Structures are given as C-alpha cells and as structure tokens.
A and B are shown apart, each in its own frame.
Chain A
C-alpha cells in the first residue's frame, strides 16, 4: 500500500544547525498493516510522517502510495488519499464551525468542491450515526461549535474526520500525547476499533512503549533518521518493554534519552 524508497531529508542545509532528519529510509507497508513507530527525540518520526503527507518536501527518494508515485504531489493533493490526526488537538478541526459542519468538510474529501450544498439532511443523519459510535455524547451536540469541545473530544472527532472517507493510509502523530491518561486511553481504544473495522493501513507514532507493543501488528524504531529495528509476528508478541529497551541500546549504541518514553 505504501512504499518508501531511500527517503532522505535534511533541515537547514548549509547552515550551522544542519540536521539530517531522515537518512535513506526504506519502508514498505502491506494493506491493512498497523505499524507503531517509536524513537527518541529528534529521531525523525514526525519528519517521516510529514514527508509522507507532503508537509515537508523531501530531498531524495520516492514515496509510492497505492501504486501512485506521490513524491512530487502538493500536500492537499496527497491528502485525498491520506487521513491524519495531529498531536495538537487544535490542529485537526475548525473551532468556529459546528461539529456537523466539520464532518461535512471531511466527508466531502476527494469529491468536487464546487457549489453544491455543503451538507444535506442525509449527510447529517450519517454523521449522527458515526458520532454515536464514538460514545462521547457528541451526537447530541452536532450544532455546537467545535471550540466548545475538550481536547479528547476533539481528537476523537478528528479521528472520525480522518477516516469518514476511507483513506489509503492513516497517519497518527502522537495523537494522544496531549491528553490526560483516561481520555487518552479512550482515544487509543477508538483508534484500535476504527482501524480494525475499516482494515486501515496505519502508521502511528507513540511515545508510549507499552502501547507501541499492544497496538497494531508491527513496530519500527527510528534512531537518528534510520529504522534500526523492525519487528512483527512471533518476535513482536514475545517482546516486552524491558527487552525492547535492552535491544534498542544494543543496536543504537545510545541510551534511551527520553524519560517520557520510559514512563509512559
């Protein structure tokens, strides 16, 4: 479904703080695969997702999504095939518009924008059904502005918006990191449910090692812009957080610098 070939990205080329964020990364995802990504600060996790979604331009390499080479597509053009949830809950929704209007924009993804009505009665009923599945009571607040929602409710809504038109790939960039633990768990469970039901090909960055092993079918570890570990199947189900840290330090020759990652 997704094929990344020798992808490189350097920030601030030629300047003092030149930073190689991605170093010839190769990655291939099958249909329906749910991959969790972990790595320390500055390992290139977000850059990888930003290069796939087109927020960052790449320096080298190719990105092939569902057999289409999207390397040189602008962000908005790729977005038609990609669903995204960001770390910042403010980034995924329009605060001054109602819940159903937000969903309507998401639902129109990939359809001609044009001058037809932004939302029909039928759409509204569908949105209601979908919101009920979130189990947050949002179906009763469809006419309220999104600005009134909590961070967790917004992330759940963004997740629904990212998947209401089935994407070829779902990109989740630490989408529960800014939430308190209870609602974070709820959003993670929702993620698991939606990805499973829709059989979505998913890339999820997380700082929570436990979650990275519990969720999904495959885990990759990034370090200094390279994938240093990639495991699935039996190897993955036998993996524990302790063994993961041990292996990480052996392979990277570095200590895990991220307290947040260990504690999470």
Chain B
C-alpha cells in the first residue's frame, strides 16, 4: 500500500468516524435501528455543496448538521408520536429524503464543485498544505468526540443511555422518553449529515446515490471497533467506534489494493456486517461442536 493510499484511507476513515458516532448513538445507545442515515448523509452532502457553491463552505457544515437534526427528528416523531416501528420510520424518512435531497440539489442527480472554495481548499493555501484534509477532519472529529462524551455524561446523556436499555424504567423515573428519543436521533443524524457534508467538500462532489448502504458502513465500524478495542467504559467505546471506522477504511483500501473491483464494495460491507452480527451465534455453535467431538472421541477411545 502506498503512502498516498494510506493517507487517503485515514482521511476518509476520520470523516466517516463522525458518521459512525452518529450510528453508535441510534443503534447502540438508543437501541433503535435507524435507517434514515442513508438519506441524512446525502442531505448533509447536498446542503454543504450547495452552500459551498454559494461561497459559504463553513456555514454549509453547520447548516448540514442542523438539517440532519431535522431529518432525525422526523424519524423520531414518526416512531414516538405515530407509533410506527423504528425500522419503518427510518425507511420512510430515507425515502422522503431522496426527493428532498434532489430538491436541495436543484433537480440534478449530482453536482461537482468546480473552482469553488471548500473548507479544505482554504486551508491548503496555509502552511498545512497537503495535510490540511487530515488535520482539519481530525480536529472536527475530536471536537465532536469531546462534545459527545461530555453530553453523554450530563443528566440528559444518562437518560439517553438508559432509554436504550430500558425505556420503562426511564418513564417510571419521570422522564419523557419520547423527548429523549427525539434528542438522540436528532444528534445522531446531525453527526451523519456533518460527515456527509465533509465528504462532499473533500471530494468536491455530491451524488444522490452516495448514501446507499451508509448505515451498514456505520454499523460495520461500530462492530469492528467494539470487537477489537472493547466496550469497557463509555470513553473507550466512543474511541473504539472511531478506530473501527478508520480500520474499516483500511480494510477496504487493502481489498481494493489486492484487486477487488470497487463495484463489489457494498457486497463486501454487507458480508462483514452479517458475519460480525452473527459472531455470538457462530461462537456458540463452535463450542457445541467442539464438545460433541470431544465426547465422541472419548467414547470411541473407551470402546477401542
């Protein structure tokens, strides 16, 4: 793997880590499989490119985050107020966002940013030069990580974590779980949209299809991180998610390097996540098979 490929993977991994943190909040903390992620990622990208075209790349990031929060809120309201299953609520938002994203993009399926300033291109002119992407992305990621960690340690953060564990208990302790879920999904999709916004600016390009399977990539990052780096404390879990996202990018880069066609990417992602989710079952089966083998061997020896 060349240094350039490695650097590129790190850049992508760091930006995708922000999205993975968002997925972590919905899937792990709230225990809600939120599929609106695929739509809110593109929403963030679209908003940020349109804003960059208008000469406001930095503001674009902020508005993208807020737009993502809005998308997450819709999913939350569908789920909590209209009692639609979370999986379906997410799909509905995702579907609606497809049209909405096209609207944001002025009816075009993709928009390149030609000769327009992005948050990265502005920095490239400074001393940071070629490392501007890496450093700026890392700075934003660390900032998000820091705020998220602080937030999860506030009273609201405590009940957010408890709601995913046991919403009955949270209601019995006098907290409106509908509001907690709204907050959680808003922040989650806000982070996802911010990640989409950064990706779009770093590639100077937005495409209506760039969000497909994003939720799976996020989930893969979360699971890889948890398996390899552990889940002991909250901070460790958050850092594990970030490292998982970076590792995922490195795995993909490696797979491409050894000749996997890039069109197979989504297939590979799906297999990784399926395997990772099946891990507990596979482990159980294996230990059972081992025991069975040991017993038959033992009996065989006794007979012999």
- The reply to whether A113 and B175 contact each other, CB–CB distance below 8 Å, is yes
Write the A111-131 contact mask toward B (1 if CB under 8 angstroms, else 0): 111111111000000000000
Chain B residues near A186 (CB-CB < 8 A)? none
Does B156 make an interface contact (CB < 8 A)?
yes
Chain B residues near A105 (CB-CB < 8 A):
155, 158-159, 162, 170, 173, 175
Q: Do A94 and B166 touch (CB < 8 A)?
A: yes
- Is the C-beta of B85 less than 8 angstroms from some C-beta in chain A? no
**Residues B161 and A96 in contact, CB atoms below 8 Å apart:** yes
Contacts of A94 in B (CB 8 A): 161-162, 165-166, 169-170
Least CB distance, B168 to chain A, in whole angstroms: 5
Tell yes or no: A108 within 8 A of B by CB: yes
A201 within 8 A of B: no
Q: Quick one: which of B150-165 are within 8 Å of A by CB?
A: 151, 153-159, 161-162, 164-165
Chain A: minimal CB distance from B163 (Å) = 8
The interface size of chain A toward B, counting residues with CB under 8 Å, comes to 37
CB contact under 8 A between A114 and B172, given known A91-B166, A97-B162:
no
* Residue from A90, A106, A119 within 8 A of B173 (CB atoms): A106
User: What interface size band does chain B fall in?
Assistant: 20 to 34
B176 on the interface (CB 8 Å rule)? yes
- Contacting B at CB under 8 A, from A14-64, are 53
Residues of B within 8 A of A95 (CB): 165-166
Q: How far apart sit A96 and B174, CA to CA, in the bound complex (Å)?
A: 20
Known: A91-B166, A97-B162. A75 touches B155 (CB 8 A): no
Bound Cα distance from A114 to B175, whole angstroms? 11
| A104 and B173 contact, CB distance less than 8 A | no
Residue among A77, A102, A116 making CB contact with B155, cutoff 8 Å: A116
B79-134 with Cβ < 8 A to chain A = none
Q: Is B266 an interface residue (CB 8 A)?
A: no
Within 8 Å by CB of B174, from A90, A101, A109, A117, lies A109
B52 lies within 8 A of chain A by Cβ: no
Interface 1/0 per residue, B162-201 and A, CB below 8 Å = 1011101111111111000000000000000000000000
Determine the chain A residues whose CB is within 8 A of the CB of B171 once the complex forms: 75-76, 79
Are A109 and B173 in contact, CB atoms less than 8 angstroms apart?
Answer: yes
User: Which of B153, B158, B161, B173 gathers the greatest number of chain A CB atoms within 10 Å?
Assistant: B173
A53-B172, A76-B177, A92-B172 given; A108·B166 CB < 8 A: no
| A49, B174: Cα distance in complex, Å | 16
Tell me whether A118 and B154 are in contact in the complex, defined as CB-CB below 8 angstroms, given that A94-B161, A105-B162, A113-B159 are known contacts.
Answer: yes
Chain B residues near A162 (CB-CB < 8 A):
172
Q: Which of B151, B153, B169, B175 contacts A92 (CB 8 A)?
A: B169
Interface residues of A in 83-102 (CB under 8 A from B): 84, 86, 90-97, 101-102
A92 vs B169: C-alpha distance in the bound complex, in angstroms? 5
A115 touches B173 (CB 8 A): no
- B165–A97 touching, CB < 8 Å: yes
**Chain B positions within 8 Å of A188 at CB level:** none
Q: Is A137 an interface residue (CB 8 A)?
A: no
Name B161's contact: one of A53, A75, A92, A97 (CB within 8 Å): A97
Interface residues of B in 24-69 (CB under 8 A from A): none
With A91-B166, A96-B161, A97-B165 already in contact, the answer to whether A118 and B155 are too (CB < 8 A) is: yes
The listed residue with most B CB atoms (<10 A of its CB), out of A77, A105, A114, A115, is A105
B157 to chain A: closest residue by CB: A118
Min CB distance B233 to A, Å, is 9
Report the separation of the CA atoms of residues A75 and B175 in the bound assembly, to the nearest whole angstrom: 9
Are A117's CB and B155's CB within 8 A?
yes
| Residues in B neighbouring A108, C-beta threshold 8 A | 155, 158-159, 173
By the criterion CB–CB under 8 Å, are B155 and A115 in contact?
yes
Query: A113 contacts which chain B residues (CB < 8 A)?
Result: 155-156, 159, 175
B153 surroundings in chain A (CB, below 8 A): 117-118
List of B residues within 8 angstroms of A93 by Cβ: 166, 169
- Please give, as numbers and ranges, the residues of chain B lying within 8 Å of A77 by CB-CB distance: 174, 176
- Tell me whether A91 and B169 are in contact (CB under 8 A): yes
- Judge if A161 is at the interface, Cβ distance under 8 Å: yes
CA distance A108 to B170 in the complex (A): 11
In the assembled complex, 6 residue pairs joining A and B whose CB atoms fall closer than 8 Å, in A order, are: A93-B169, A96-B161, A105-B159, A105-B162, A108-B155, A117-B155
Sample of 12 more A-B contacts, CB < 8 Å, known A77-B174, A79-B175:
A75-B171, A80-B174, A94-B161, A104-B155, A105-B170, A109-B174, A113-B156, A113-B175, A117-B153, A117-B154, A118-B154, A118-B157
